[in-house]
Structure 1
């Protein structure tokens, strides 16, 4: 019953629903107990030859009226209980969604998407069943079973009732044992389902990559193995659950046997009448449902308990992001990095160290370096996806960024990440994500700045073209430029392009950078890139290697240093010239033909 104790907050919140449903079930049980009494009396009248047509009609009318009452009250009780359980599902789903969107990347590195989806679907459905059909089942079983026992003892025989109930302690012991096994089995089954959900989500998201590498058969085999594991875990639970009905039938059979043996002797001794014995056995038959419901209830409640434990564990994950947020004004001023070191874990070597530079308002800063040098991690720290170890490591406007509420801090940034994300919506909806009511002129201007407007106008539905899941119908360069337009539409104080020009050609890159220089005068731009051409016009260029600053300065200063930047710039410039010469030669060949 642990799951009911942990859900007591909801039962209190919906006490009128549950209370009225319990009253309805109580009246239903009382009405359901009337027909056996009437049947017994009719039989006694028949054996005593005192049954009249008027008396029979009266008894039939009572049975009809009680049937109508039972029908209406059962409908009402289910309406209340299932309505309450649907509300619980909505509340839990909202709590999980709020948890998901409030957590930082470290949370999503630990919990995979498929697992989080399983919590929000399968687990909530199990808890919802516990609060709905589970509560109805146990309430109906307890009320009906309890009132039936009382009627058997009060109207027929206490002694015979006691004898008939002698096998019940065996049932109680066995059901508790089965319940313990069910809880363990359901927890394993839910975990296996989460893994299968993970695999399905990952396979569908990466289907293009999988097909391009011819990995379909191997992926199908992995899916089959996970699916077989889910079936095996659920089959194990089914085998335990299947023990309930035979156990209950054996116990009820033993009760019937004792009732017939001892009840017949009591009829012979004139302790009870034949009609009372028939009423007693009818009541005993009515005890089958409460006992079967007990097994059904254990199945539901153990599944709900396992699922609710998983949900509570997830909701209990603490994000200490907001502990130091004391400022209430948006940040303004210089951004300063004084980061001695930062590491994701307690490894010997930090991921970043000796990072010291300042970004004055209105500057354009370029951050370059090879893959894994720490460029994107710097950006993620600035956006507070992770917090540095000391308050003074990163400041904005003279205050540690931890003192700004995350929403207030991030409102100053327009961020275009490496893994640009497009929603399954129209191009207009994706660009105007942060400003759905924006006018067409402003929308078109942002698109022209990112050099995507002409591409959009060639599409069949233009800005109303649906891009598909994650922009599957667009090229990499088009998705990048739509993401840039989305950030530009916000007109942020600080625009961050995290390697966001890698999929566009050199000419388009130059045009976009020129637009930024003209349109964003007086505002800050931070550009991380692999191509030196993307940052050569920046006021400050930071060269990263192995998590630290290798070089920094303007383009001219870094060329004079004759270091990594100069070598890379010259190599890329030579490559560009060779590519240009090759293109010109191909073009001349076409013209000669």
Structure 2
């Protein structure tokens, strides 16, 4: 029953719908008492031979009219009640999505995708079912049960009514115990379902790799293990669930036995008529639904409560990066970085330390270094995906922690190492940040990213569906479409996080030439393993193990002993060897 208290905020807001549904349920409950009463009158009239044919048809017509009216009223309350519960589903999912969009990478280090999907779908469905069907069964069972009890006690016999209710308190205690067990077991079962969802999601997204390594049987066996564990935990829920109905039927059976035994004795001794006993037994039959509904209500509400606790635990989780309050002025500003130390959550080893630089508007900054040296971490901090442990990053003289996140990120256009494309057309993927961009603007951005000709060769050109995650495109095409998407934003600062790794040297050179023309007055930050991409940078930072190993222009670094000179010479030699035509082997006679 705790779920109703948890959702009290929604019931108060939608009180008109719920009150209307409850009022109609009460009217229906009262109308359903009429047929048993009329049956008792007809039986007594037939027994006493005082019922005329006209009256018989009149009573039967009244019963038919009652049935039709009940049908119409049930339709109306269903629209009111379930309309309100479906609106709750919309709000919960909207709140859930907004919460996910506010979170930062630290949140997704703790929660897996499959678990989040399970909470947004299966758990929300359970809560909505409880908010609709649960409210229905609660009100219907209480109203119907109380009205039937009042009629049985006042219109027929209060002594027989009390006698028939003897099994009910015992049944209520047993059902309450079942509900507590169900709450805990269903929570465990939902967690197992999340794990199953995780396994399915990971297998589907990595299906190419699984096939390439011939791991189909291995993955199938792993999935079978998780599915079997989920099945066992759901079976534990089903075992508790299966106890509800037998308990109700046994209680109702005992109540009927007591009612018929006691009622027969009262008929024999003249305390009741046969028609009254018949009506009483029919009224007692009407109690079967309230009792079953009460048990069912306990079942679905406990499931909904367990599901809502899982949803609420995420909705109440505050973002690890707190939004600032200050807004930026329209002019471009200087970016100043002074990072004393930064380490990822749950990792005591610093990912960056002692990093300082200053980037004026319109300059190009190059980042390079061995794999895992801290380049992408720095770019992550510039986007304020994490907060710095010690130090600060300033823009226009204001710390990023004080600037509104939306205001700061609107100044950035980012192309990551692994660009993500939606299952949509090429044009829509490029226009992601500017949905209202014209086709001419989209094509111009694609031309600058050197992907326009590739797009035209696709089956439907810019209207070609790229498939999930851009599955039908090559790595280089995906990178260039992502670059076009960033260029279309026309943002003040462009960040390329190893975004040219999948294109050839000639295409890279052309893209960089286009960027220099596009980026006149704009700030560009390029992280790259191929050092030829950094030649025109005003300053190049060389990272190693999270700190600055070298810094300077390309010309100065290329002649200074160190990592940059060695790597640049190696890459030049590699490029020269690639340009040498292969020597033809002599024919063997």
TM-score normalised to the size of structure 1? 0.96
Aligned to 2:273: 273
Kindly provide the CA deviation profile for residues 142-174 of structure 1, in whole angstroms up to 9, marking residues without a partner as x.
111111111100100010000000010110110
Aligned to 2:143: 143
Q: How far off is 1:15 after superposition?
A: 0.8
Kindly provide the CA deviation profile for residues 326-356 of structure 1, in whole angstroms up to 9, marking residues without a partner as x.
2353573111111110111364431110001
CA distance in 1, matches of 2:42, 2:415: 83
Q: How far off is 1:224 after superposition?
A: 1.1
Aligned to 1:526: 525
Aligned to 1:73: 73
8 Å contact kept, 2:186–2:303: yes
Kindly provide the CA deviation profile for residues 365-402 of structure 1, in whole angstroms up to 9, marking residues without a partner as x.
11001111000010010011111135x51111211111
CA distance in 2, matches of 1:199, 1:348: 30
Query: Which range moves more in the overlay, 123-132 or 40-49?
Result: 40-49
Aligned to 1:292: 292
SS at 2:321 equivalent: helix
SS at 1:395 equivalent: strand
CA distance in 2, matches of 1:328, 1:353: 28
Aligned to 1:562: 561
CA distance in 1, matches of 2:279, 2:518: 91
Aligned to 2:582: 585
8 Å contact kept, 2:106–2:320: no
Aligned to 1:40: 40
Q: How far off is 1:536 after superposition?
A: 2.1
Q: How far off is 1:65 after superposition?
A: 1.7
SS at 2:549 equivalent: strand
How do 1:177-256 and structure 2 match up within 5 A? 177-256=177-256
Kindly tell me the number of residue pairs found equivalent between the two proteins: 586
8 Å contact kept, 2:18–2:80: yes
8 Å contact kept, 2:323–2:405: no
Aligned to 1:25: 25
Aligned to 2:8: 8
8 Å contact kept, 1:163–1:258: yes
SS at 2:582 equivalent: helix
Q: How far off is 1:357 after superposition?
A: 1.0
Aligned to 2:132: 132
Aligned to 1:397: 396
Q: Does residue 55 of the first structure (1) align with residue 52 of the second (2)?
A: no
SS at 1:434 equivalent: coil
8 Å contact kept, 1:332–1:396: no
Query: Which range moves more in the overlay, 34-43 or 474-483?
Result: 34-43
Q: How far off is 1:129 after superposition?
A: 0.3
SS at 1:358 equivalent: strand
C-alpha change, 1:320 and 1:236, in structure 2 (3 Å) is closer
CA distance in 1, matches of 2:76, 2:328: 51
CA distance in 1, matches of 2:395, 2:162: 79
Aligned to 1:95: 95
C-alpha change, 1:36 and 1:358, in structure 2 (3 Å) is same
SS at 2:525 equivalent: strand
Unaligned runs of 5+ in 2: none
How do 1:499-514 and structure 2 match up within 5 A? 499-514=498-513
SS at 1:578 equivalent: helix
Aligned to 1:495: 494
TM-score normalised to the size of structure 2? 0.97
SS at 1:133 equivalent: helix
Query: Which range moves more in the overlay, 92-101 or 54-63?
Result: 54-63
Q: How far off is 1:468 after superposition?
A: 0.6
8 Å contact kept, 2:104–2:320: no
C-alpha change, 1:65 and 1:440, in structure 2 (3 Å) is closer
CA distance in 1, matches of 2:328, 2:265: 86
Unaligned runs of 5+ in 1: none
8 Å contact kept, 2:321–2:385: no
CA distance in 1, matches of 2:330, 2:93: 32
C-alpha change, 1:393 and 1:88, in structure 2 (3 Å) is same
Aligned to 1:550: 549
C-alpha change, 1:233 and 1:346, in structure 2 (3 Å) is closer
